[in-house]
Amino acid sequence: MVVTTSAVFAALLFTQTFPAVTRSSGLVANCTTLTVDGPVPSVGTQFNIRFNCGPGVAAVSAPTSTVVTVTPTFTLPAGYLFLGTVPPTSDVSNCSQLTSGQPVGMSGSSDYCAAVDATTVQLATFDVSWAA
Backbone angles phi, psi at 57, to 5 degrees: -120, 110
The mean pLDDT of the chain is 92
Looking at residue 124, its amino acid is A
Give dist(CA 58, CA 52) in Å, integer: 5
**Which of these ranges, 1-10, 23-32, 87-96, has the smallest mean pLDDT?**
1-10
Higher pLDDT, 1 or 120: 120
* Prediction pTM value: 0.81
Question: What's the average model confidence in pLDDT over 92-108?
Answer: 96
Residues of 89-120 as b/e, b for ≥16 C-beta within 10 angstroms? eeebeebeebeeeeebebeebbbbbbbbeeee
